[in-house]
Amino acid sequence: MAELEERVARIEGTVTQINERLNHIEGEIGQLRGEMGQMRGKMGQMRGEMGQLRASVDNRLNHLETRFNWMFGTMLIMWLTIVLTIIFRA
């Protein structure tokens, strides 16, 4: 009978330890979920900032493209004027 009580006591101790470990793991999982939620928020914020930067870069590139087109057009007109002047003066 004493041996059975020892075994039951050992099993109860083991179950208690398992319960404590599971509670600890549950707490850790809860912390990880909280941290992941914060990370998702930060990632969303970063995506927003990246979208703003992309829009800014696109805007600047469009502005530069417009300037390039004007410069190229001006140079082409100047070149044509010089060529036509040479052709009709000769």
pLDDT for 36-64, tens place per residue? 999 999 999 999 999 999 999 999 999 99
What single-letter amino acid sits at 64?
L
Residues in the chain: 90
pLDDT at 21: 95
CA 70/CA 78 separation, integer angstroms:
12
CA 21/CA 29 separation, integer angstroms:
12
pLDDT band of 18, cuts 50, 70, 90: very high
Q: Domains of the chain: which residue ranges?
A: 1-90
C-alpha distances in angstroms, 23 versus 19, 56, 62, 80? 6, 50, 58, 84
pLDDT at 8: 86
